[in-house]
Amino acid sequence: MNKKWWKEAVVYQIYPRSFKDSNNDGIGDLRGIIEKIDHLDQLGVDAVWLNPVYKSPNDDNGYDISDYQAIMDEFGTMEDLEELMELLHQRNIKLIMDLVLNHSSDEHQWFKESRQSKDNPYRDYYIWRDGKNGGPPNNWKAFFGGSAWKYDQKTDQYYLHLFSPKQPDLNWENSKVRQEIYAMINWWLEKGVDGFRLDVINLISKDQRFPDGEKEGLAGHEYFANGPRVHEFIKEMAANTFNKYEAMTVGETPFVDKEEAIKFVKEEREEFSMVIPFEHLEFDRKEGWDKITDWDLTELKDLMSEWQYKLQENNGWTSLYFCNHDQPRIVSRYGDDGKYRKESAKMLGTMLHTLRGTPFIYQGEEIGMTNISFDSLTDFDDIETRGYIKELQEKNQLSQKEILEIANYRTRDNARTPMHWDDSKYAGFSESEPWLKMNSNYPEINVEKDLSSDDSVFKYYQKMISLRKKYPVFAYGKYEILLEADQNIYAYLRQGEQNNLLVLLNFSENEAAYDLNDQLEIKQAELILNNYQQEADFELDGSLRPYEARVYLY
Ligand code: TEU
Ligand code: CA
């Protein structure tokens, strides 16, 4: 097993729009992040991933880039970014940028040219096709609703957009596009950036026959996800850019199971450092966005275990995460955001920090921030949510109230409400009304409060992160599941060179008994982490309190 800094790291994700507003226009910005570097340092994280900060008309909050080498006006200037990088580096914190290479904004110079005429030199930078039978070229659907094709009158053809119509897909088949992208990436690497998170990177190769999709789910995904040339493109990109700088790379990969994942992260293949999986966050949405489904802990345990075994057998790595800017808050999904908010937030964090992989913390997760509850459909900003609301209203099967309920549970805005720094108006995020409504529980849940209390979620995260640094077994230990069939407890071992970990996690709101006597022979173990004030003795059989998490070292 090769040692790498990013295998031992904890990454903290910042959504700049909602982290800290330095000039009181209601929008978070780069100087705001600079003001809060102490927070990152105190927590003890090793790297920061910034969501896109490039120039953008913000149709999808920065995931529609109009200039890859300039900074978004609201966020500040290139000098601000350079200063932030410098300050992070002074504290030994790496900077990971977000690269959106599957698509650009329709306001990017390339697209403005491309749509001018069929013989424009930039025409082939994007994917243009003739319509079929008076409609789009095929039945592919966009992630944000509707057809993935948009008709453009000027040249009487359609262009492909897997996300919003303002996010036209780049044509990776064109080697000129690839060369431009590599040059841009190298420009950032020369600047001193330490790595990249690559947005929907497994969608860059489309089946050039553009057949109609036939599989369940988003129509056409079998032809645009993990397409024919995806690994060829990624290998070429990595060889020409990241690998020359030993940069950390995190590929965001929807529609990827453990078998597919190996192809991206098996070390010998020299593609990515790790992927961002999705399957472990799909249990409560098995029947689609508008139906919340029940699930069982054994499903999560089986899935996590299969990934863990597959990756360790194949010398591959993964990110470990529950929250990001696209996901509702985990404590409101797999935990309990009421009575056991703190306990369950800590328990879920324990899982992320004790499995084999690199933990990613999303802003606010370290204080146990919860889902919102907006009271009007017009409060939602997220382009995805607005798309679904529109679809549900057109279908006319649910009442407004029912739509509001599902939107509150599902919306990406759950993660995007401004960060809670203190209990002042607008939670210390800004002195002006923020771009998105605050979560109303900020007086109870905020950083200031967590810092002044011994049993806060923040203090627990601090401890967890420092333990990871102290004991290499957290990063490199071999994973082995225990109590496989247990419906309440997720238990596993990590076996290292010097020591081992035994992790016990109770996912239920009730006490849960366990008996490990016929699986383990351990006489003594030290309890190094526990989310209850009154600590537990070591026993191979006993019981866990509601949402209790224990980590023993032996
Ligand atoms: O997300 C890709 C993606 O798969 C999401 O559309 C996800 O399935 C959905 O949001 C879950 O609710 C990336 C970015 O993280 C996201 O913010 C962008 O909107 C999207 O790509 C387009 O760039
Ligand atoms: Ca601002």
pLDDT band at 113 (very low <50, low <70, confident <90, very high): very high
- For residues 278 and 254, the answer to whether their CB atoms sit within 8 Å is yes
- For residues 437 and 372, the answer to whether their CB atoms sit within 8 Å is yes
- The predicted pLDDT at position 1 comes to 74
Distance in Å from the first CA to the final CA of the chain: 22
Using the predicted structure, report yes or no on whether residue 376 has a pLDDT greater than 90. yes
Q: Out of 3.30.70.260, 2.60.40.1180, 3.10.300.10, 3.90.950.20, which CATH number does the structure's domain 478-553 have? A: 2.60.40.1180
In the chain, CATH 2.60.40.1180 sits at: 478-553
Q: What's the average model confidence in pLDDT over 252-275?
A: 98
Residue 131's region, left for phi above 0, alpha for psi from -120 to 50, else beta, is beta
Using the predicted structure, report yes or no on whether residue 306 has a pLDDT greater than 90. yes
Adjacent-strand bridge partners of 238:
none
Quote the mean pLDDT of the chain.
97
Which letter does DSSP use for residue 399 in this model? -
Using the predicted structure, report yes or no on whether residue 296 has a pLDDT greater than 90. yes
Catalytic residue among 194, 199, 271, 450: 199
- The predicted pLDDT at position 365 comes to 98
Ligand with smallest separation from the Cα of 418: 2
- For residues 462 and 42, the answer to whether their CB atoms sit within 8 Å is yes
CATH code, residues 7-103+176-378+414-461: 3.20.20.80
What is the value of pTM for the model shown? 0.98
Q: Whose CA is nearest to atom 9 of ligand 1?
A: 326
Q: Whose CA is nearest to atom 5 of ligand 1?
A: 326
Residue type, 464: M
Residue owning tokens 């300039």:
70
Task: Please state the separation of Cα 504 from the chain's center in Å.
Answer: 25
Tokens, residue 304: 């996590």
Question: What would the DSSP string read from start to end of 228-256?
Answer: TTHHHHHHHHHHHTHHHHT-EEEEE-TT-
Decide: 343 in ligand 1 pocket, CB within 6 A: no
At 489, is the secondary structure helix, strand, or coil? strand
Q: Which CATH architecture has domain 109-160?
A: Alpha-Beta Complex (3.90)
Q: How confident is the model over 185-232, as pLDDT tens digits?
A: 999 999 999 999 999 999 999 999 999 999 999 999 999 999 999 999
Decide: 200 in ligand 1 pocket, CB within 6 A: yes
Decide: 163 in ligand 1 pocket, CB within 6 A: yes
Q: How confident is the model over 458-478, as pLDDT tens digits?
A: 999 999 999 999 999 999 999
In the chain, CATH 3.20.20.80 sits at: 7-103+176-378+414-461
Q: What's the average model confidence in pLDDT over 55-83?
A: 98
Decide: 143 in ligand 1 pocket, CB within 6 A: yes
**Does the active-site annotation cover 199?**
yes
